[in-house]
A and B are shown apart, each in its own frame.
Chain A
Amino acid sequence: MTVPKSFPLHFPTLTRVNNLDGAATAAEDLKIYINQYLPLVILGDFPDSETMLTNADLLCTQAGALPTQRILWLNDEGILAAVMPELDAAIKSGFPNKVYSYDNIRALSIEPASMKAAYLIFKDPSLSPDPKDIRKTLSTFQMQRAFNAAIALIPDTRDL
């Protein structure tokens, strides 16, 4: 039986909000993380992060949340740069025809089996050419939608 790799916590009280160990192993660790969990990856710093991450943690522990739901908050520049190719590929795989700017992505949920991005949240939605994205800024509302989208994509054959 494979022992799951453990990842560092940003805050001791928020047990579902993880970080990666460092830029050197970030790309590899990201793959392991996605494989192990159902992640919402949040990129960079943002306002009122404490409240938002607390709520994100609640979304992972509330009734109806998958046991594997996790938040991966990446705010280290080195790590961000290291995981960019992997995440960009996930977005392209999940939204093949979507016009977007990677720099404008604040968060994305990823379906583990296919490694495809399931939902995108933007730093500034007005920069997205798709009018449907206009309200997709980081909020508990959008984080819940991101998790819902990823859960909906899980193949029926996958174990919990």
Chain B
Amino acid sequence: MKKNPLYAAIAVLLSFAVAIPCRAQLTPSGIFTLMEESTSGKHMDTLPQTGPAIVDINSILHIKIDLAALEDEMFRFQGISGSDIRLQKLKEFNTLLQNQNEILKLINEKFSGSTTPTLADYKELATQSDFILDGLETNLDDDLWNELTSPAMEQQFRTFDGPYIVFVINFLAEKAQLLRESLTEQLNVNGEADSSLLIYFRLGAFIKNKSGGRPVHVENFDDISPDSYSEISSFSAPLSDAEKKALNDTRLINDSIQTNTGAATFSFKKLIKSRVDNLFPSDTSRVKFKTVYRTKLADLNRSNATKPAARILVENELSLTRVDQFYTVATQTYQQFAGSFPQALINGDSLDQTFDRFSKLVNDAFSQFKGDVSLYEQSGSRLSSGEPPPGSPDLDEVVNAYDSYAASINQDISGIKSLFSDIRSILDPFRKSYLANEDFSDQVLRFTAGSIPPTGLIELKYIGERKAGDEILVKAVLERGKKAGNRNFEQKTLLRRYVTMARVAVHVKMSGSVILANPYNRASNPAITLQNKFQFSPTYGIFLKWGSRKSKFYNDFVAFGAGLGFSSPDFNLDGTPEFGAGVMLTGFRDLLNAGWGWNFGLDTPYSFIGFNIPFSIGGIQSASPEGFLED
């Protein structure tokens, strides 16, 4: 079979397009439901649990939480067995209470104010209430059932200020809270739950794009301030010269920043590499010291008189070996750091600790050796001659070499730590943004079981600057304890879901392009003197565009538009353009267009195909295709 490279290319492109949405996402079914509400409130739909999730760039994201399933997950994470009867009961109660907010909202909005409720409102309340009452009658154990319907509770309701269903909800919520307290009882220390063992639920969101990411506000779940209101207009007027200039300046600055950032990173890496290549100038003193050490050991071992001095060297050889081993560890650490710059610097403080330990080891080993030599030499003063014991001068030479080595190492370590510190302070803003990219700050609230809001909202209009194609990462975790450094701390990710923002709602776009116009019935119009089949002509289009909630491929590559095109062909070749207008379709990010028009100057129709490529013709600068500038 003959191979066709075009088909192969298409297949590769398609497989690439399919692979784009396949990223690490975690969406356990049952706990979280993401819903999109359009700006007008007319569209409300559940996002798929898996696969691409696309929403309009101006919409509202609802994150609905199944509290029964979530609390079950929380207590299992705490270590409670799934077969624990208390956990099963709590799940039942939470399931029954799942619509309590709807009931309370219904009562407050429809039955407590001046509004006149409709029959549908009464029926809705009756249905919602009976969901709880029927569940209780069916599932409640005899003890609780007898308590709920006891004369004492009947008496309590006589003085209760509110509807009976609220009375029942309060009863059920109180029993659920008692179960929670019972389930966390094992964590209690002196009557209070140990916060380092408590399980917290956190939910947050980040906007992510090519330049990184930042946290965005999720209503009910964090203290992050909403950003300024910014609606992506459904009418994209052409840019003014001033705006174009500003846009161009911004691009230049952005390019410059990217180039400079790249250059800075390259320079840092180069610097680190040069330091690694010349690692430890003290290495010379180390080699010298070891040479002196071994030479003197051999010399001192030659004579019985100096063998006691040699013993000091032998006894300290072990600590010297340890220093050597740690020297290797420190070197490797240094090299790893250089290999994964700058993440290694951002992610941990282990480098400083490694070098601190190294420095201590060298200093301790040197002090020990120096002490041993000093003791040996003092023993000489006890000799009758009062002269130093044999071998002392040799030992002094070793002490000097050791001293020089230790001093060099300490100087090097101090220099290296200082260099790291400087790099850290330079990278601090970058570090913060790196961490903010996906880690929750303390502004993201921690919730214990029983206090978790059932819904979160992300109003995309209030997340600040964004553009089509940017993504929202919704992340939910369980954490044991509050501090990441605590030995009990553990994190479990429950949800990682990317939602892509697209211009789904119909919007207007205006764009210039170049068309190839064909006055196809030139035979019937003698005024057309055009010799070629096609004539180049500038055209300007105003068209409606729309996006897809199903296909990222459509939004990124196809993106059809339909509208009107106005052009200035010169079919009679008299040098004066006529006016033409017609309908046009655009596609592939407006790169291509086609349509049909009418030349009003010569009263003749024409068909055309066009290209939206950035060059000028007839004095009109064609705009860049959609998205090309943005990239």
> Number of contact residues on A: which range applies?
20 to 34
Chain A 142-159 interface mask (CB, 8 Å, partner B; 1/0)? 001101110110101010
Q: Which residues of B contact A139 (CB under 8 A)?
A: 149, 154
Give the A-binding residues of B (Cβ under 8 A).
106-107, 111-112, 118-120, 122-123, 125-127, 129-130, 133-134, 136-137, 145, 148-149, 151, 154-155, 157-158, 162-165, 168
Find out whether the CB atom of A148 lies under 8 angstroms from the CB atom of B126: yes
Q: Which residues of A contact B127 (CB under 8 A)?
A: 148, 152
Find out whether the CB atom of B112 lies under 8 angstroms from the CB atom of A63: yes
State the Cβ distance, B169 to closest chain A Cβ, in Å: 12
State the Cβ distance, A110 to closest chain B Cβ, in Å: 15
Q: Which of B122, B130, B154 contacts A145 (CB 8 A)?
A: B130
Find out whether the CB atom of B107 lies under 8 angstroms from the CB atom of A63: yes
- Give the CA-CA distance A64 to B619 in the complex, in Å: 71
- Give the CA-CA distance A54 to B119 in the complex, in Å: 25
Q: Which residues of A contact B106 (CB under 8 A)?
A: 64
Q: Which of A64, A145, A147, A158 contacts B111 (CB 8 A)?
A: A64
Find out whether the CB atom of A151 lies under 8 angstroms from the CB atom of B158: no
Instruction: Offer 17 A-B interface pairs, CB within 8 angstroms, sorted by A.
Output: A51-B158, A52-B154, A55-B164, A66-B122, A137-B149, A140-B164, A141-B136, A141-B148, A145-B137, A147-B126, A148-B129, A149-B126, A151-B126, A152-B126, A154-B119, A156-B119, A158-B119
Chain A 47-70 interface mask (CB, 8 Å, partner B; 1/0)? 010011011001100111110000
Q: Which residues of A contact B145 (CB under 8 A)?
A: 135
State the Cβ distance, B96 to closest chain A Cβ, in Å: 14
Give the B-binding residues of A (Cβ under 8 A).
48, 51-52, 54-55, 58-59, 62-66, 135, 137, 139-141, 144-145, 147-149, 151-152, 154, 156, 158, 160
Closest-by-CB residue of B relative to A144 is: B164
Find out whether the CB atom of A140 lies under 8 angstroms from the CB atom of B119: no
Find out whether the CB atom of B126 lies under 8 angstroms from the CB atom of A141: no
Given A54-B158, A64-B111, A140-B157 in contact, is the A59-B151 Cβ separation under 8 Å?
no
Find out whether the CB atom of A148 lies under 8 angstroms from the CB atom of B163: no
- Give the CA-CA distance A3 to B325 in the complex, in Å: 104
State the Cβ distance, A96 to closest chain B Cβ, in Å: 21
Closest-by-CB residue of A relative to B121 is: A64
Closest-by-CB residue of A relative to B106 is: A64
From B130, B148, B162, name the one whose CB has the most chain A CB atoms within 10 angstroms: B130
Find out whether the CB atom of A62 lies under 8 angstroms from the CB atom of B154: no
Closest-by-CB residue of B relative to A66 is: B122
List 13 extra interface pairs beyond A148-B130, A152-B127, CB under 8 A: A51-B154, A51-B155, A58-B164, A59-B164, A62-B164, A63-B112, A64-B107, A135-B149, A140-B164, A141-B137, A144-B164, A151-B123, A154-B119
Q: Which residues of A contact B125 (CB under 8 A)?
A: 64
Find out whether the CB atom of A152 lies under 8 angstroms from the CB atom of B123: yes
Q: Which residues of A contact B136 (CB under 8 A)?
A: 141
- Give the CA-CA distance A137 to B134 in the complex, in Å: 14
From A48, A140, A156, name the one whose CB has the most chain B CB atoms within 10 angstroms: A140
Q: Which residues of B contact A65 (CB under 8 A)?
A: 163
- Give the CA-CA distance A149 to B123 in the complex, in Å: 9
Q: Which residues of B contact A51 (CB under 8 A)?
A: 151, 154-155, 158
- Give the CA-CA distance A154 to B137 in the complex, in Å: 23
Q: Which residues of A contact B120 (CB under 8 A)?
A: 156
Given A141-B133, A144-B133, A145-B133 in contact, is the A64-B154 Cβ separation under 8 Å?
no
- Give the CA-CA distance A131 to B469 in the complex, in Å: 58
- Give the CA-CA distance A149 to B133 in the complex, in Å: 11
Find out whether the CB atom of B133 lies under 8 angstroms from the CB atom of A148: yes
Find out whether the CB atom of A64 lies under 8 angstroms from the CB atom of B165: yes
Q: Which residues of A contact B129 (CB under 8 A)?
A: 64, 144, 148
Q: Which residues of B contact A154 (CB under 8 A)?
A: 119, 122-123
- Give the CA-CA distance A59 to B154 in the complex, in Å: 12
State the Cβ distance, A127 to closest chain B Cβ, in Å: 18
Q: Which residues of A contact B149 (CB under 8 A)?
A: 135, 137, 139-141
Find out whether the CB atom of A144 lies under 8 angstroms from the CB atom of B122: no
Closest-by-CB residue of B relative to A149 is: B130
Q: Which residues of B contact A147 (CB under 8 A)?
A: 126
Q: Which residues of A contact B157 (CB under 8 A)?
A: 55, 58, 140
Q: Which of B107, B130, B137, B168 contacts A152 (CB 8 A)?
A: B130
Find out whether the CB atom of A63 lies under 8 angstroms from the CB atom of B119: no
Closest-by-CB residue of B relative to A136 is: B137
Q: Which of A63, A141, A156, A160 contacts B163 (CB 8 A)?
A: A63
- Give the CA-CA distance A137 to B163 in the complex, in Å: 21
State the Cβ distance, B209 to closest chain A Cβ, in Å: 48
Q: Which residues of B contact A156 (CB under 8 A)?
A: 119-120
- Give the CA-CA distance A148 to B163 in the complex, in Å: 13
Find out whether the CB atom of A151 lies under 8 angstroms from the CB atom of B137: no
Closest-by-CB residue of B relative to A155 is: B119
Give the 6 A-B CB pairs with smallest separation, nearest first.
A148-B126, A151-B126, A63-B111, A62-B163, A139-B149, A148-B130
